[in-house]
Amino acid sequence: MNNNDQMIMTATIYFLTGLGVAVLYNKLKAKPNSNSRPTPMKKWHISDIPVIPLHPHLDESMDALIIAPKMTRWLEKLDKTQIDIQSITITDINWFSAKPDPTKLGFVKFRVASIDKTTGKQIASNVVFLRGDSVAILIVVNVVSISKAPPKQYVLMCEQMRIASGGRRTEICAGMMDDNGNIASVVLKEVKEETGFDIKHKSELIEMGSIFPSPGACDEEIFLYAWDTTISEEEFEEKQCRVFGNATEGEEIKLSFVPMKKMNQVLDKIKDVKAECAFRRYMAMK
């Protein structure tokens, strides 16, 4: 190979190398940012607040989301004198149905761009896990013996698997509020499903206020109730041998009865905040 051929080959190699680098650079430059997405064809609002789906697959859920009672109730509960919401960015949605249904909204995770009207600054704690409100009821059971001895008093507890907290948990009876926000009817329904007890009328319930168990990240407000009932020793034994719960939802709930005098010790062990608050309030009313 003479000098001219070598020069031509070297020039060709440099050219091809430069061409390859340029092609690679252009491909990398054209690659979309993982945090960006194409502009949606449609825009969504709730009460003039922009609601923005972060990912394309969420677009199909947006029409149902913006009219879902659980979502609109959250906005209605906001103190407008304290908070000015500029936009809501949806990052994830779960439905309690095969297709988006406003009455079957499960959980929503989103970011809120908002201003604290008191300080005029952006609110830093801006991630919300929306699950809606729920109810919890402390069931106090008086067990009457055949011997006519004084009734023994217990607090009814429900044991079931809770994957989020890592295993089986012992709690008082509780359930999520329905899409109509009917608190008392949810209590009656949940008690029957989870314990087999049948509360005939909401007037039997003792109202004990509400709590926010995790206000820094979750919207959930738990409304607390108590209910006193009396059963025989036979029914007492039978309930401890059965499994309760809504079969269509895969619930398997085992009941246990804690002697009233031992509740303080049990509360320290089970770590159920709704049971803790309900029991303290119930005892304060006595």
Q: What percent of the chain has pLDDT over 90?
A: 66
Residue 7 has a pLDDT of 52
Position 15 confidence tier, pLDDT thresholds 50, 70, 90: very low
The string of pLDDT tens digits covering residues 84-101 is: 999 999 999 999 999 999
Closest CA to 224 of 245, 242, 207, 244: 207
Q: What is the mean pLDDT of the chain?
A: 87
Q: What does the buried/exposed string (b/e) look like for 2-17 if buried means 16 or more CB atoms within 10 Å of the residue's CB?
A: eeeeeeeeeeeeeeee
Write phi, then psi, for 65 (nearest 5 degrees).
-60, -45
Residue 23 has a pLDDT of 47
Q: Tokens 């000015």 — which residue?
A: 84
Q: Where are the domains of the chain?
A: 44-130, 134-285
Handedness of CA 176, 178, 181, 184 (dihedral sign): negative
**CA distances for 276 relative to 67, 151, 270, angstroms:** 35, 24, 9
Residue 119 has a pLDDT of 96
Distance CA 47, CA 74 (A): 12
Tell whether pTM > 0.95. Answer: no
The string of pLDDT tens digits covering residues 106-115 is: 999 999 999 9
Handedness of CA 86, 92, 95, 99 (dihedral sign): positive
Half-sphere exposure of residue 225: CA atoms within 13 angstroms, side-chain side: 24
Determine how many CB atoms are found less than 10 A away from the CB of residue 248.
6
CA triplet 228, 234, 237: central angle to 5 degrees? 80
The string of pLDDT tens digits covering residues 138-177 is: 999 999 988 778 899 999 999 999 999 999 999 999 999 8
Count of positions (residues) in the chain = 286
Most confident of 1-10, 19-28, 185-194, 198-207: 198-207
Q: Is the pLDDT of residue 68 over 80?
A: yes
Any idea which of 3-12, 120-129, 205-214 has the lowest mean pLDDT?
3-12
Position 3 confidence tier, pLDDT thresholds 50, 70, 90: low
Residue 242 has a pLDDT of 77
Residue 35 has a pLDDT of 58
The string of pLDDT tens digits covering residues 246-269 is: 766 667 888 999 999 999 999 999
Q: Is the pLDDT of residue 210 over 80?
A: yes
Q: What percent of the chain has pLDDT over 70?
A: 86
Residue 70 has a pLDDT of 94
**CA distances for 142 relative to 64, 247, 264, angstroms:** 46, 28, 18
Q: Is the pLDDT of residue 33 over 60?
A: no
Q: What is the mean pLDDT of residues 14-43?
A: 58
Which CATH number applies to 134-285?
A: 3.90.79.10
Position 278 confidence tier, pLDDT thresholds 50, 70, 90: very high
Q: Is the pLDDT of residue 12 over 90?
A: no
Residue 239 has a pLDDT of 86
